Each structure stands twice: as C-alpha cells, then as structure tokens.
Amino acid sequence: MKGRFTKILFLKLLLFTFSCEIEEVGTLNLLTEEIVNVSGERAVVLGRIIAFENIPVEDHGFYFAEEESFLDPIIISLGATERPGRFVGEVSGLQLGKNYFVKAFVVRAGEMIFANTLSFETLNPSILRYEPLVQFGGGEVIITGINLADDTRVFFGDREAEVREVIFGFQVRVTVPPIASSISEQIRVVTRGIELEVETPFRYAVGKFNLLDANALEGLSIVENIYFQQGERFFAGMGRDSGNQSTDFIWEYNFAQGEWVKTGFEARMQRAASDSHTGYFGGGFFQTNIFGPQIPSDNYWHFDGLEYKELPPAPINISDGFGYEIQGQFYIAGGTIGVGSQVYRYDPASNAWEIRPNLPSNVDKGMVHFVYNDHLYWIDRDNNLIQYNPFTAQSQTVSRYPSPMIENTTDSGGFALVMGDKVFIGLYNNAREIWELDMEILDWGRKQNFTGDARGRITGAYSKDGILYFLRSYLVNPRTEFWEFDPEAF
C-alpha cells in the first residue's frame, strides 16, 4: 500500500513538472542590453529578445525619456518581428548635456512588455578650433568642435553666417559674411540653444592696392635686376630690360615728385646679381651689351646711404644666388652655376670674404628668402619654409607656404618683406596671392589678392609706415608698374 502511494505521488510530481514546462513554452525575455554610442544629440542602443522559439510580436523598439517614469517618451518603433535576437535603436534630436533613460519594449498580443532601464548622459558641445583664421568675405571657414547638433548656427559678431554643412557632429562649414565695419570679428556658435564663443577672433582677408605709376623706370620692363631699401629710400636697377634695352642704372624713388629717378651709380650690364635688399649687391653675369658674351662677375658693392662702395672681389662666381645680411655681414649663397649650396660671407670689419658651411640644399634667387631674428628663411619649390641658423648651420622646416605653386609658372620670384614680427610673402611670378606670416606662431593669414595684371614678376619690394610698395614688371606690353599696398585697408 505504501509502495503504491509512493508511485502515485511520483506520478503526480512528474505531471506537475510537465505542466510547468508546457507553460514556459512561448515566453520571452526582453533585455535593454547596451548603450553602444552616445554623442551630443544621438544615441545608439542595443536590445535583445531572448526566446527558445519564434515568437511573433506586433512591435518592438525603445522608449527614451528624460525621467525614469517615461511620462513623455521618445518612442523608437522598429515594427513587428517574429524571431528572437538582437535589435538596434538609434535616436537623434536629443538635448545636449542631459541625462536620459532608455528601455526596450515589445508589444505582444496587445500587451506592452518592457525591459530593464539603462541611463546615459548626452555630451556637451565645445569648439576646438577653426581654420583658416583669416578669410575673405564669402569664403569658407571650417569650425571643428565636438557634439555639434544639426541645428548649429554660426555668427560673426552679430551677423549670422550661412551654415553649409554640419559634418558628423564635429565640423561645421560656414560661409563668411561680407566684411562690415571691422576686420576682426568674434565667432559664436549656437547649437541646441547652447552658445559657444570661439577664443581666437576671426580676421578678414583685407588689403588695398593702389597703382602709383603705370610706367615707372622710364618705361623699361626690367628683369634679373637688384633692389634695396635704405631707411625710407627705395632703389632698383641693373639687370636687363625685357625689350633688350640697357638698364645700366640704379633708380631711386622720389616721393616728393612721385617718380623714379636715376642715381649717380652707373652699372655695367650686370644681371642675375645677388642682393641683400639692404644695400649689398653684386655678382651674377657681366655683359657689354645684351647680345655680348656672359662673363661671370665678381664685382660687389655696398650702398651705405651716401655712396656706392666697391667690395673686394668675391672668391666665387655666383649667379642668381641668395644675398642676405645678418648682423651687418653680407652673405652670398647658392645660385645656378657651380655648387648650388655654397656660402661666402663678407665681413666689413676685415673687408674680406670667407667661406661658410654650405646650406642644406641648393637655393637660387627664384626662391623667396628673408632674414628674421638673425636666421635665414627661404621657401623651397616644395612650399617648405626652411629656417637656417648661419652660426650653427642647423636647419629645419618650420612651415609651408599655403598657396599652391605651379612648376615653372608660379614657383619663382615673389617677395618677402619683414615688418616687425610679421612677414608679407607672395606675388610670385604670374600669381596674385599675398600672405601675412606671423613669425611668433607661424600662422599664415590671407591678404587681398593683387588686383592688377597677374602675368608679371616682382622687381622691387619695400615698406614704409606700414605700407608695402612694389615694382612689378611685365613681358607682355613691356612696362614696370609701381604699386602700393595697404595691408589693413578695406
């Protein structure tokens, strides 16, 4: 009897067990699995339906809300599904810097089933940088930051700029509004109602050109010449004329009369000479006339403001080489004949030349070069701005000239004028661009493009009272024009 009772009990327990299992069939577990990614206004969330058979649900997705009670939720509905597995929810348009809650849901047989709740915080926006720092009105500036929403607006001062594109929430392309009353404006960015101010003020690319003399230098179009400045006196001359006329002179600009007049210095036809732009010049080729033989010249002079003093002959023939003055000593270097990196120095104290360490690469006069803080700088034909210490013979590339150069077209000529910590560089042959280089931070700022005929070459460059002056010679309709450029005017 006892054994029978035990058997019945065991049978009942077995039935209970089976009945439990039958009830389990058709159930599902729902999981809000992981916050995959959160940015300023967007979140990506993973959810999962766990079941051991296909369970059709009418809808599934996620609830997002700022309160855990989900009173006013943003519902991401992914529609009906029949199979268990992972699903992805992506929400955008969230408020920046807010705490949010999210939970997965399914609707099954009309019943809403929710999963566990996760929380996350959307990120705050900020501005990292913008470039270029200087641009024309109507040009484009790219502002880089983090967590910028699609509704981002940008203001230059009080004027709103046209936002062309918000790229992946970290870059904004804007069109700079036309210049108003100031060359500098503060940039403000408003995204999802949050206002951000950019630290560095934006500067407009400005500058105004004025043609002073359309036919300077007596109508000649001089090339391969030298030019220099003594105090506020501008000089240019030697070289040759593109029309094969003699240019055996040096002219000086007379501000009172507004014209270039010949000085007492009569040079032989000496072209492709090196000059420091400070009064030292010489070398290159000597020709008796434009069709005569080219004889390397070792004649060098120095104009001290009063007279032209002849220097001892240089121990090397240099044509189209660099000339530069550092600490009162005159250097000649490179050129297109012989070794293109040799350096010689003239010391006025000893009235003698001496050889110096070679430059790290070949240079010639077609490369813009200048002296700043007793260092030589030049821009090679790969746009690299190279700094060279003449005392330690160490060199390094410190920046790049921003405008593209076209080989044999716009990669030669140009000018560089040092004005305090700023260097104005540009107007290469057949090019219009002028840049302002801040030597302290090595930042390039665009200036207004040259408004005259671009198909010319610089044959003189000077500065006075913050204004740039330059001579530009033309081979077509041969002439030399004299221009002034106010870099701050607009």
Partner 1 sequence: MKKLSSYILILFSLFLIYACIDVFPFENERPEPILALEGYITTIPKVHRIRLSRADRFSPDFNGLNRPETLAKVLIKDNLGNVEVLTESTAGVYLTQENFAAKVGKTYNLEIILNDGRRFISRPETVAPAPLVDSLSYRAVRTASENSFIDEVGVRIFAHFQDPPDQQNYYFWNMLPSDFQLVAEPELNLNSPFHPTCPRCPNPLECCRICYFSERPSPPNVNTAEDSDFNGLYQNIPIAYIRDNGLRFKGIYKAKIQHLSVSQNAYRHLTLIGQQVGLTGSVFDPPPANIRGNLINLDDPEDTPLGYFFASDEIPLETYIHPERLEFVFRPQTLFPTDCRAYVVGIGIVRPNDPQIPPADWNPNR
Beta bridge partners of 159: 156
Encoded tokens for 189 = 């960015």
**How many degrees, rounded to 5, is the angle at CA 201 between CA 441 and CA 427?**
55
Nearest to partner 1 of 38, 107 (CB atom): 38
Nearest to partner 1 of 40, 445 (CB atom): 40
Min CB(87)–partner 1 separation in Å: 5
Give 198's Cβ-side CA count (13 Å radius): 26
Min CB(37)–partner 1 separation in Å: 5
Min CB(274)–partner 1 separation in Å: 36
Kindly write down the DSSP assignment for every residue of 252-307, as one continuous string.
EEETTTTEEEEEEEE--EEES-EE-SSSEEE-SEEESSTTSPPEE---EEEE-SS-
Nearest to partner 1 of 47, 445 (CB atom): 47
Number of helical (H) and strand (E) elements in the chain, helices listed first: 1, 46
Min CB(210)–partner 1 separation in Å: 43
Min CB(397)–partner 1 separation in Å: 15
Encoded tokens for 111 = 């019943």
Encoded tokens for 260 = 């270039």
Rg (CA), the chain: 38
Nearest to partner 1 of 35, 337 (CB atom): 35
Nearest to partner 1 of 96, 216 (CB atom): 96
What stretches of 92-125 adopt beta strand conformation (E)? 99-108, 111-121
Residue 238 identity: M
Encoded tokens for 1 = 């009897």
Min CB(306)–partner 1 separation in Å: 54
Nearest to partner 1 of 37, 184 (CB atom): 37
Q: Which of 427, 438, 411 is nearest to 481 (CA)?
A: 427
The SS3 call for residue 433 is coil
Please report the sign of the dihedral spanned by the C-alpha atoms of residue 421, residue 426, residue 427, residue 429.
positive
CB 38 within 8 A of CB 64: no
Residues in contact with partner 1 by the rule CB under 8 A: 34-40, 44, 46, 85-88, 90, 123, 125, 146-147, 167-171
Nearest to partner 1 of 382, 421 (CB atom): 382
Encoded tokens for 103 = 């939970």
Min CB(226)–partner 1 separation in Å: 42
Encoded tokens for 170 = 């970290």
Nearest to partner 1 of 61, 284 (CB atom): 61
Nearest to partner 1 of 5, 168 (CB atom): 168
Min CB(383)–partner 1 separation in Å: 18
CA distance 284 to 257: 32
Min CB(488)–partner 1 separation in Å: 35
User: What is the side-by-side strand order in the sheet with 43-50?
Assistant: 29-38, 43-50, 85-91
